[in-house]
Amino acid sequence: MRTIGIILVILGSLALAYETFRAERDKTTPVVVAERTVWIPPVVGGITLVSGLLLTAVAYRQKEE
């Protein structure tokens, strides 16, 4: 659970830092490459970051007990 929390914290931080990313998809012919820019809403990054922090905190508290 702690590992998942750390991964979510990293992904949430990256989503907040980089709001867009480019995805390239190779079509059936080698000449045509479709580029697409995907926008990640900041709310998604924030929810991911907070969820990761909560999972990490819960895992840390369970380990102490």
Q: What is the pLDDT of residue 32?
A: 62
Give the tens place of pLDDT for each residue, 10-65. 999 999 999 888 877 666 666 666 778 888 999 999 999 999 999 999 988 887 76
Give this prediction's pTM. 0.75
Q: What is the pLDDT of residue 62?
A: 83
Write the CB contacts of 15 (distance below 8 Å, at least 6 apart in sequence): 40, 42, 44, 45, 48, 49
Q: What is the pLDDT of residue 11?
A: 95
Q: What is the pLDDT of residue 1?
A: 86
How far is Cα 61 from Cα 34, in angstroms, rounded to an integer?
A: 47
Map out the domains of the chain as residue ranges. 2-64
